[in-house]
Amino acid sequence: MATVPSDMARRTGGSLPDGGVQLDRSESAHRTVGDITAKNPVLVCRSVNVFYGDKHAIRDVNLDIAHNQVISMIGPSGCGKSTFLRCLNRLNDTIPTAKVTGSISLDGQDIYDKRQDPVQLRARVGMVFQKPNPFPKSVYENVAYGPRIHGLAGDRTELDEIVQTSLQRAGLWAEVKDRLDAPGTALSGGQQQRLCIARTIAVNPEVILMDEPCSALDPIATARIEDLIDELQQNYAICIVTHSMQQAARVSQRTAYFHLGDLIEVGSTDQIFTNPRHKLTEDYITGRFG
Amino acid sequence: MNDPALNPAAAENRAQRTRRLVEQSLRRRYRAERRFRAYGIMAVALGLCFVGFLFSSIISTGWTVFQQSYLRLDVSYAADVIDPDGSGDLETIGNADYSGLIKAAMRKQFPDVEGRGNLRDLYRLASDGGQFDLRERVLRDPDLVGKSETLWVLADDRVDLYMKGRIDRELGEDVRGLTDQELGWIDRLVADDRLEKRFNRSFFSNGDSREPEQAGVWGAVVGTFLTLALTLLLSFPIGVAAAVYLEEFAAKNRATDFIEVNINNLAAVPSIVFGLLGLAVFIQLFGLPRSAPLVGGLVLTLMTLPTIIIASRAALKGVPPSIREAALGMGASEVQTVMHHVLPLAMPGMLTGAIIGMARALGESAPLLMIGMVAFIVDIPHGFTDPATVLPVQVYLWADSPERAFLERTSGAILVLLGFLLIMNATAVILRQKFERRW
């Protein structure tokens, strides 16, 4: 008896009769609803597929990411939004079984090209992680690390200046200026996350990727990070993965909805949350599953 | 509301039942916990008991080694014995009969002793080793020739045993090792304050000797130091490099699995096999000198490597992946990520592995027997290619010697070995704390 539903599931391409939601998992990739292009794009992704061994984690995603704009990626757990994010700075390279196909270009240059060095790419595409992960070094060393390895500062005063401006722009300077030698890991969760943001912007990237940056933080710390994203948007392209639809609505101008490895719908944040065009998007944002 | 599961009374009943069952099981759970703790305490107590027994036995037989009996003799550096030509030639002075000077001093102490046999017995109260002291003194200061001075010279090991109360006067002459006549002389020397126990300098400055009173542990200490220094110098960097490569850079495939299995196997290979390997490869094939700390260090390196590699890999595995991602996300290369972030965090664990490996190497004797470090070596080694022995082998050699006085030397050498281990571990612990303090 128990095998019947799974047999059925396999034959009908993954759709389960329960719940009333048709999870379309046919072999051909889904055609994204909405306008995937953007004016003034910094990252252009075309036919991006990601495989983890046999698992097809991202299926044929096309998406532009624009300068000076926040794009949020939403979707149920395991839909591939984090995986997609990690393609943008080639962090998936560190997973031996991961394979990425298609093209992603940064300012017209393919980042998966053989000549593209991942180290250089990651200096241009910074990343903030879900769990605050400051280095077990002092606050100063955390921020100075990027400029130091990339040789951005000529001397100590220049480095001091970079550290100070980065911490100021991350809204952390006032809180840590008297304890730059204190360990970064001794700060509170929200401060640690802002330290990670300061560390990222210290190397002046073009794009900042944020993978659920507030999921481990309390509402007050979250609000501070969201304000910070608003400010950073003036200088950077920001991609933020989030589980909180309110957060997506608050911080982003564009929203992309992922579902089981497919990019279902892209549009302006207003349109996605007020007038979703795809049934799956509507079901997700109205809370019918997620 | 008709559903019995939703009936308030039934819910009440179920809650009460849970409470009753939990209360019933509580006592049993606590009993099990107490029993478990008792087992733990018993195990610890048993361990402490054995350690206490070991230490008390070693210390009780070994502590006397820190003192040694010396004779106070009025030695006259007779010019006609040391430098008959009066040339002041150091070679002549070096080849003089210093043992004769001590004999003369003994004769002066006991003018009443006559006859070759009696005199020979008298001379035997002083150790043969005293002559080397005299020779050194004269060579250092040739002006002494023709003068005389009062010196403490080493007494024979039988005299020393008697002074330490290990020879029973009541026993018969033939079993006691000292004749009545000798005992009489000893009594007279003690009464004149010419025979007493003093701090045992020679034990901590001499190499091995056939004569127990002259045998010292310093040669073995230096040999151990040289051997272990080489072992640490080779095995720690190689072990860490191998672990870092296997853990951080090597592709995860059949080949790495195969290597991993074999490293684990290597850790379990009996140490004597490494000794045979060292004999065949380093000595036979490469022609390196026998009995040398160089070969000993290489053999112990082979033996220690798997331990350090395994511990280092475990330490690297314990570094949270978020730190690696943070560094890579900042644009650090893989080598920078490892060098700047992963390695410092893994260092305490790697040092723990090194301590375990080095402690094992320190206590190892079997593989060193195979490469000739068991030879009887009197000279203190001065380099990695000089013949040497190590403390555990010295313990083995002395434990095997028939002279009774070697018994306390054996325990003394074990004490020195334990002291060596203590210093080594303390250094490693301090180093580890220094790394760990970096939050």
CA B333, distance to chain mean position in Å, is: 44
Nearest to B378 by CA among B213, B226, B219, B154: B219
Which DSSP symbol is given to B291?
T
Residue B99 has pLDDT above 80, yes or no: yes
By the CB < 8 Å criterion, does B427 face chain A? no
Nearest to A243 by CA among A21, A69, A77, A57: A77
Q: pLDDT tens-digit profile of A184-239?
A: 888 998 899 999 999 999 998 999 999 999 888 888 888 988 998 998 888 899 99
Beta strands in B4-121 (DSSP E): 67-76
What would the mean pLDDT of A63-87 be, rounded to a whole number?
90
- ipTM higher than the 0.90 cut: no
Q: Under an 8 A CB cutoff, do B331 and A137 touch?
A: no
Give the span between the Cα atoms of B149 and B135, in whole angstroms: 14
By the CB < 8 Å criterion, does B390 face chain A? no
Which residues in A lie closer than 8 A to residue B438 (C-beta atoms)? 136-137
Maximal C-alpha separation, chain B: 129
Cα distances (Å, whole numbers) of residue A249 to A41, A230, A266, A272, B384: 21, 12, 14, 9, 72
Is residue A52 within 8 A of residue A46, CB to CB? The reply is no
Which residues in A lie closer than 8 A to residue B332 (C-beta atoms)? 119, 145, 149
Give the SS3 label for residue A65.
strand
Instruction: Please tell me the CATH code under which domain A29-285 is placed.
Output: 3.40.50.300
Which residues in B lie closer than 8 A to residue A146 (C-beta atoms)? 330-331
Residue B247 has pLDDT above 70, yes or no: yes
Q: pLDDT tens-digit profile of B187-224?
A: 999 988 899 888 988 899 889 988 888 899 999 999 99
Q: What is the pLDDT of residue B368?
A: 93
Give the SS3 label for residue B345.
helix
Q: What is the pLDDT of residue B51?
A: 94
- Mean pLDDT over all residues of chain B? 89
Q: What is the pLDDT of residue A26?
A: 47
Residue B344 has pLDDT above 70, yes or no: yes
Residue of B252, B319, B330 for testing the chain A interface, max A β-carbons within 10 Å: B330
Q: How far is A122 from chain B (nearest CA, A)?
A: 5
Handedness of CA B308, A94, A107, A248 (dihedral sign): negative
Residue A23 has pLDDT above 90, yes or no: no
Q: Under an 8 A CB cutoff, do A149 and B326 touch?
A: no
**Nearest-CA residue of chain A relative to B253?**
A96
Q: Under an 8 A CB cutoff, do A149 and B331 touch?
A: yes
Unique residue bearing structure tokens 């361990």: B47
Q: How far is A5 from chain B (nearest CA, A)?
A: 30
Count other Cβ atoms within 10 Å, centred on residue B22.
10
Which residues in A lie closer than 8 A to residue B324 (C-beta atoms)? 94
Give the span between the Cα atoms of B439 and B432, in whole angstroms: 12
What would the mean pLDDT of B400-428 be, rounded to a whole number?
90
Rounded to the nearest 5 percent, the helix, strand and coil shares of chain A are 40, 25, 40
Q: pLDDT tens-digit profile of B254-263?
A: 999 999 999 9
CB nearest to B328's CB, from A94, A185, A199: A94
Tokens of B5: 């599961």
**Domain segments of chain A as ranges:** 29-285
Q: What is the pLDDT of residue B176?
A: 82
Is residue A256 within 8 A of residue A73, CB to CB? The reply is yes
Q: What is the pLDDT of residue A53?
A: 86
By the CB < 8 Å criterion, does B328 face chain A? yes
Give B239's pLDDT tier (boundaries 50, 70, 90): very high
Beta strands in B108-165 (DSSP E): 148-154
Give the span between the Cα atoms of A227 and A242, in whole angstroms: 15
Q: How many beta-carbon pairs below 8 A join chains A and B?
A: 67
Q: What is the pLDDT of residue A104?
A: 92
Q: How far is A142 from chain B (nearest CA, A)?
A: 10
Q: What is the pLDDT of residue B281?
A: 94
By the CB < 8 Å criterion, does B335 face chain A? no
Q: What is the pLDDT of residue A192?
A: 93
Give the span between the Cα atoms of B364 and A142, in whole angstroms: 45
Q: What is the pLDDT of residue A289?
A: 63
Q: Under an 8 A CB cutoff, do A203 and B330 touch?
A: yes
One DSSP character per residue, A160-227 reads HHHHHHHHHHTT-HHHHTT-TTSBGGGS-HHHHHHHHHHHHHTT--SEEEEESTTTTS-HHHHHHHHH
Q: What is the pLDDT of residue B437?
A: 59
What would the mean pLDDT of B135-158 be, rounded to a whole number?
87
Q: How far is B425 from chain A (nearest CA, A)?
A: 26
Give B96's pLDDT tier (boundaries 50, 70, 90): confident
Q: Under an 8 A CB cutoff, do A133 and B322 touch?
A: yes
Count other Cβ atoms within 10 Å, centred on residue A123.
21
Q: What is the pLDDT of residue B4?
A: 59
Helix and strand numbers, DSSP H then E, in chain B = 20, 3
Residue A12 has pLDDT above 60, yes or no: no
Q: pLDDT tens-digit profile of B300-337?
A: 999 999 999 999 999 999 998 889 999 999 989 889 99
Q: Under an 8 A CB cutoff, do B329 and A94 touch?
A: no
Q: pLDDT tens-digit profile of B8-25?
A: 788 888 889 999 899 889
Q: What is the pLDDT of residue B270?
A: 92
Handedness of CA B315, B320, B323, B326 (dihedral sign): positive
> What CATH architecture does domain B218-436 belong to?
Orthogonal Bundle (1.10)
**Domain segments of chain B as ranges:** 65-199, 218-436
Give the span between the Cα atoms of B272 and B134, in whole angstroms: 43
